[in-house]
Amino acid sequence: MNTASDAWKNLRHHSQDISKKTINSLFKDDPDRFEKFTANLDGLLLDYSKNLLTEDTIRLLRQLTITCGLAEHIKKMFSGERINTSENRPALHTLLRASENSPTSLANISSFKQVQTSLAKMTNFADRIRSGQCTGSTGKLFKNILHIGVGGSVIGPSMAIRALSPYSQNSIPIQFVSNIESSDLYDKISILDPETTLILVASKTFLTQETMLNAWSAKDWITQSLGNEAVGSHFAALSSNTEQTQQFGIQPEKCFDLWEWVGGRYSIWSAIGLPILISIGSDHFKQFLMGAQTVDEHFTTCPVEKNIPILLGLIGIWHRSILGYASQAIIPYDQRLELFVSHIQQIEMESNGKSVRLDGSKITTATSGVIWGETGTNAQHSFFQLLHQGSDIIPCDFLIAALSHNELPKYHETLIANCLAQSQALMQGRNLEQTKVHLRDRGLSETDVERIAPHATFVGNRPSTTIMYEKLDPKTLGMLIAIYEHKTFVQGAIWNINSFDQWGVELGKELANQLLPTLKARKTPDHLNPSTSGLIDRAKVIRKTCS
């Protein structure tokens, strides 16, 4: 989109006017503000009233969606057009959770049938693992699963299994390995028994360096204990490369399809979700898919003013491109969502961390900022100091369930109180005079009041959005993930960038492959830059000395 357009100019002009106001004053001016700036979907509430915006702001942001043709972008994605233009691919992750008669499945009938066939195959395999019908090479039941992958093939499943642990009771424990730092694999297999371990290898190409290095090491671990013939019983593959998986020794019935139109960070709904399916069972996995499907329908049919993903996307544009906020914190008040931020971080930053438009021209506005965060209340005792009194304004998304799976006395009410108190404190702050009164009420001397007050003053007027839902169940988790997926898509459409490629990941991999031989060579090549050359030489000396 042309950021010199009237839509962008109007927003920038509007931001100058609204900067003279505070969020507190907006509430004072409009007693109905909460009702106006909330949206609901199937038990989930989005409250964005604690942001520095008005109905005029939303109206002007909505103009961006018209100018960029957001409705047409959405239509193209769901119909299967090749919107990933640099790789000439569709982005059809929504098909993975679509119902039989949805517009997406009807527009992509052949692919939808493939998805359903794959899901049935996954479900059958998962049921056999859970029931004990599928065993290791010696006939013993599987007691552990080792899932090997990298990026989205690990981040998403590990997040979901942790989040849905109340639904994994009596299931087989699942360990995840993604790093090529050898201790990652070593620490896992050192406590596992090869006779009772199933290994899932997740790689679309079955050629990914990190994944395959770990996979071959795991294969050695199995064969050294059980022999080469055990590989077929102890390995399954989540991959599209059947030739490579068969060469590895994996049986065709244990190879589950991935398609080129499924990006890694959007693959949790595909065969990459097999460990989730094994963990929570088919009924709960269907609820997980249904949650995302519910959001898909809402996203494609609901008006902008109440459309949760679009609203989140527009607020993100307002904060990043207009107000210039460089990062956003996501704070789930649920310990089981401790890996959720990492998943959303990948979705947003890998998708929209771009600086060129679809046509290859340079973008003239800020795109994706830094997405980061931690679970509350832990975060309150680490970086909340920065949120409240730091020199940067950092918008926050707070996530909170009204009900807990484990209702211990006083716990959940205390958790909710802490969550709501933080968003209130960020908004309201406490000025110098209020702080002095507060300190006097605590019995401090006037000297101490004057000395401490500047340090205990909170500017306030710091924006936050709260997402409240009934309980963190499979459907709700599916909804939350899909909301952030579509939020990311909205922003990419407005910035006119390709949210579905990730060329920024490739250069480092290419250079790593080039540098690997130099670490083994007797002499470091002269063509390397002095820093890289010096570090390689240093590593060689240490490894030779200490080996």
Question: So which residues are the catalytic ones?
Answer: 350, 381, 509
Question: Do residues 287 and 473 lie in contact, with contact meaning Cβ atoms separated by under 8 Å?
Answer: yes
What is the layout of strands, in order, in the sheet containing 197-202?
A: 174-177, 144-148, 197-202, 235-238, 255-256
- Smallest Cα–Cα separation from 375: which of 425, 416, 339? 339
Return the DSSP state at 192: -
Number of other residues whose CB lies within 10 A of the CB of residue 536: 17
Tell me the C-alpha distance between 87 and 108, whole Å: 19
- Smallest Cα–Cα separation from 236: which of 275, 207, 186? 275
397 phi and psi angles, rounded to 5 deg: -105, 120
Q: By three-state DSSP, how is residue 452 classified?
A: helix
Q: Which amino acid is at 400?
A: I
- Smallest Cα–Cα separation from 316: which of 381, 282, 247, 366? 366
- Smallest Cα–Cα separation from 313: which of 351, 286, 364, 285? 351
Strand extents, DSSP E, 224-313: 235-238, 255-256
Q: By three-state DSSP, how is residue 384 classified?
A: helix
What's the CA angle centered on 545, arms 539 and 546, to 5 degrees? 90
Distances (CA, A) of 215 to 265, 352, 424: 21, 31, 49
First to last CA, the chain: 56
Q: Which amino acid is at 22?
A: T
Q: Is residue 400 within a helix (H) or strand (E), and if so which, with residue range? A: strand 396-401
Tell me the C-alpha distance between 162 and 469, whole Å: 18
Tell me the C-alpha distance between 248 and 215, whole Å: 9
Three-state secondary structure string covering 113-150: HHHHHHHHHHHHHHHHHHHCCCECCCCCECCEEEEECC
Instruction: Write the DSSP string, 26-47.
Output: HHHH-TTHHHHTEEEETTEEEE
Question: Do residues 51 and 395 lie in contact, with contact meaning Cβ atoms separated by under 8 Å?
Answer: yes
